[in-house]
Chains A and B, each alone.
Chain A
Amino acid sequence: QVTLKESGPGILQPSQTLSLTCSFSGFSLSTAGMGVNWIRQPSGKGLEWLAHIYWDDDKHYNPSLKSRLTISKDTSRNQVFLKISSVDTADTATYYCARTVITTWYFDVWGAGTTVTVSS
C-alpha cells in the first residue's frame, strides 16, 4: 500500500524559509520511473503544482516560483523535501505531496496535506 505524509512547521513569519517533508512508504525513489510532486492549495481555492523530483534526481519547478523553490530527496529514508524561501502571506496554504510515475504523468496517490500559515 502506497502512503505519503507531509509535515511542516505549521506557522512561520514572513521572509522566513519554509521547510516541508514528505515521508512515504509502499514505493521507493530508487525504483526507475518513480517521482514525488509538491502541490499546494490555499484555503477555499484551487490547486497549484510546485515541483517534482524523480528517482534519477531529475527536478522541475513551476517557473512562477522557481527562484524560491528547492526540492531534494533522501532515498534511503524515503523522504522528499521542499524549501520555499522568503515566504509571505500568499504562501499560506495546505501543502500536499503526491506520487507520480514518469510514464504516466498524473498524481495517483496523495498525502493528507499539511497546513502552513504565514503570519507576523
Chain B
Amino acid sequence: DIVLTQSPASLAVSLGQRATISCRASQSVSISTYSYMHWYQQKPGQPPKLLIKYASNLESGVPARFSGSGSGTDFTLDIHPVEEEDTATYYCQHSWEIPYTFGGGTKLEIK
C-alpha cells in the first residue's frame, strides 16, 4: 500500500496568515502531467469535502485562497489568507492504485 505521511499533525495560524500542509507519498503518484493526489477538508461532525483534485486543480465552489502543488512524492496544500471558517482537519488521498489511502490528517486551528 502507498503510505501518505502528512505534516504537521496540527498547526495554529493567525487569521489572515498562510497555512502550509505537506503530504509525502511512499512512492510516486504522478505520471506525465498528472498527479493522482487529492485534498479534502473535514469539519467536526461533517463528512470530508473535496478541495483540490489532481494536486493543483481547485474543485468548483472552493475559495481561491486554497491552492495545491507538487508532483511525484511531495505535495502541498496552501491556504492564504486563512479565515476562521478554515478551522478543520485536512487530508490528502491518492488514487494511484488500489487500495486508495489517506494521510493521517492535519488539524488546523486559527489563532
Query: Interface residues of B: mostly helix, strand, loop or mixed?
Result: loop
> Which residues in chain B, 54-111, are within 8 Å of chain A measured between CB atoms?
54, 59, 91, 93, 95, 98-105
Tell me, in angstroms, the Cα distance from A112 to B47 when the chains sit together. Answer: 6
B91 touches A64 (CB 8 A): no
Residues of A within 8 A of B103 (CB): 46
Interface size, chain B (Cβ < 8 Å): 23
B99 touches A64 (CB 8 A): yes
Tell me, in angstroms, the Cα distance from A60 to B95 when the chains sit together. Answer: 13
Choose among A47, A98, A113 the residue that contacts B91 (Cβ–Cβ < 8 A).
A47
B36 touches A105 (CB 8 A): yes
Tell me, in angstroms, the Cα distance from A96 to B102 when the chains sit together. Answer: 14
Residues of A within 8 A of B105 (CB): 46-47
> Which residues in chain A, 85-103, are within 8 Å of chain B measured between CB atoms?
96, 98
Instruction: Give me 30 A-to-B residue pairs in the complex whose CB atoms sit less than 8 angstroms apart, sorted by A's number.
Output: A46-B91, A46-B102, A47-B48, A47-B93, A48-B102, A49-B99, A49-B100, A49-B101, A60-B98, A62-B98, A62-B99, A63-B1, A63-B99, A64-B1, A96-B48, A98-B47, A105-B95, A106-B38, A106-B50, A106-B54, A107-B38, A107-B48, A107-B50, A107-B93, A108-B53, A110-B48, A110-B49, A111-B47, A112-B46, A112-B47
